[in-house]
């Protein structure tokens, strides 16, 4: 098909050349003859005056040919990458996981959503605007979230480890042998676990709004958002459209109970010990106005991942990648490249 497109483009350029150059040659010949005839006259000024219209017409046709040739050549060159966002499901660990994919770059990147989230609700700017010539972007819906239902989402004590295994196995099923991770909130926790357990598979990692242990202070924050009817409409509406109000309300309450159970473990541990196993370059971003994740969580992760970078966004809140999408995109792409 590619050869056919190029052949078509080359044929069109050739046809234009033939169609325009022949009249150009005839007109040029006529102009030369007219000039010679006029030069024999005693009034040389008249000869110059009569030759100009033919010369002007010749220049206009030459300019037209140049423009058409350039347009034909550009039309014959196809785009080297696709901007389309595809959607599909693949069976992984006994469940059908939904994912979106876009771009044709050599650098594969998995986007991991936050609590109750999906690729569609959590990463629209990144799916649309990340460099699709450099990256192949995959945004997944963890089991029980988004379009990866069934099953109904549940929260056993090892649900983050389960998500991490699903995420890695999904990318392997899609034939990505090595890839980078962009994890937000719960997705950041999942990314940290995946990178700690599979250091040879992860190229680079960016996390924001994540924590690796749960404190009593955190539990108070979680309980304050248990009632989804108290959420702002901007936050609640896309999730209600995805799940319906009743399912969203039940799932949020179950999430609060699920994340709070880590306080029963020593030091509220989720995955603290795995941080020292992370070998990939890591960027931690923290919004200084994040109402859900206190600053000390980002600082703790930074101190325990060797060689990691910590960046603070003064005006950033929990959803900093959505509110400051362009700034986030630039920072992340520069880090990944």
Spell out a b/e string for 168-192, using b for 16 or more CB atoms within 10 Å of the CB, else e.
bebbeebebeebbbbbbbbbbbbbb
User: What pLDDT does 81 receive?
Assistant: 58
pTM value is 0.76
CB atoms within 10 A of CB 225: 16
User: What pLDDT does 83 receive?
Assistant: 83
- Residue pair 137/167 in contact by the 8 Å Cβ criterion: no
Catalytic option among 148, 185, 260, 308 = 185
- Residue pair 250/327 in contact by the 8 Å Cβ criterion: no
185 catalytic, yes or no?
yes
* Cα(275)–Cα(265) distance, integer angstroms: 17
- What is the per-residue pLDDT across 37-47, written as a single tens digit (0 to 9) for each? 444 444 444 44
Tens-binned pLDDT, residue by residue, of the chain (337 aa): 433 333 333 333 343 333 434 343 433 444 444 444 444 444 444 443 334 444 555 445 454 444 444 333 333 334 455 689 999 999 999 999 999 999 999 999 999 999 999 999 999 999 999 999 999 999 999 999 999 999 999 999 999 999 999 999 999 999 999 999 999 999 999 999 999 999 999 999 999 999 999 999 999 999 999 999 999 998 999 999 999 999 999 999 999 999 999 999 999 999 999 999 999 999 999 999 999 999 999 999 999 999 999 999 999 999 999 999 999 999 999 999 9
* Cα(60)–Cα(49) distance, integer angstroms: 18
Catalytic option among 141, 186, 218, 290 = 290
Token couple for 16: 């234009």
Q: Strands across the sheet with 85-92, in order?
A: 85-92, 95-102, 135-141, 107-112, 179-184, 202-208, 282-287, 309-313
302 catalytic, yes or no?
no
Phi and psi at residue 244, to the nearest 5°: 90, 150
318 catalytic, yes or no?
yes
- What is the per-residue pLDDT across 161-205, written as a single tens digit (0 to 9) for each? 999 999 999 999 999 999 999 999 999 999 999 999 999 999 999
Catalytic option among 98, 297, 318, 321 = 318
Residues 6 or more apart whose Cβ sits within 8 Å of residue 263: 214, 215, 216, 219
């Amino acid at each position: 098909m590619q050869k056919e497109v190029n052949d078509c483009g080359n044929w069109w350029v050739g046809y234009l050349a033939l169609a325009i150059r022949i009249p150009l040659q005839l007109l040029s010949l006529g102009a030369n003859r007219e000039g010679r005839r006029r030069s024999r006259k005693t009034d040389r000024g008249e000869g110059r005056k009569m030759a100009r219209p033919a010369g002007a017409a010749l220049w206009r046709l030459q300019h037209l040919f140049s423009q058409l040739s350039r347009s034909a050549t550009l039309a014959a060159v196809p785009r080297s990458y696709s901007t389309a966002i595809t959607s599909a499901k693949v069976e992984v660990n006994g469940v059908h996981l939904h994912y979106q994919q876009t771009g044709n770059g050599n650098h594969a990147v998995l986007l991991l959503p936050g609590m109750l989230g999906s690729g569609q609700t959590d990463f629209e700017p990144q799916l649309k605007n990340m460099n699709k010539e450099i990256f192949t972007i995959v945004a997944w819906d963890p089991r029980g979230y988004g379009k990866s239902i069934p099953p109904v989402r549940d929260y056993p004590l090892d649900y983050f480890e389960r998500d991490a295994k699903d995420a890695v196995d999904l990318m392997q099923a899609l034939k990505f042998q090595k890839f980078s991770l962009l994890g937000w909130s719960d997705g950041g926790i999942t990314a940290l676990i995946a990178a700690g357990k599979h250091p040879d598979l992860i190229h680079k990692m960016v996390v924001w709004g994540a924590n690796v242990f749960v404190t009593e202070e955190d539990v108070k924050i979680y309980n304050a958002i248990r009632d989804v009817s108290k959420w702002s409409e901007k936050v609640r509406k896309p999730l209600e459209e995805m799940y319906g109000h009743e399912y969203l309300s039940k799932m949020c309450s179950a999430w609060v109970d699920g994340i709070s159970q880590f306080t029963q473990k020593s030091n509220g541990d989720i995955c603290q010990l795995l941080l020292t196993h992370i070998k990939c370059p890591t960027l931690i971003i923290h919004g200084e106005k994040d109402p859900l994740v206190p600053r000390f969580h980002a600082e703790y992760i930074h101190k325990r991942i060797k060689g990691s970078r910590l960046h603070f966004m003064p005006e950033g809140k929990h959803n900093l990648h959505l509110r400051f999408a362009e700034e986030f995109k630039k920072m992340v792409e520069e880090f990944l490249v």
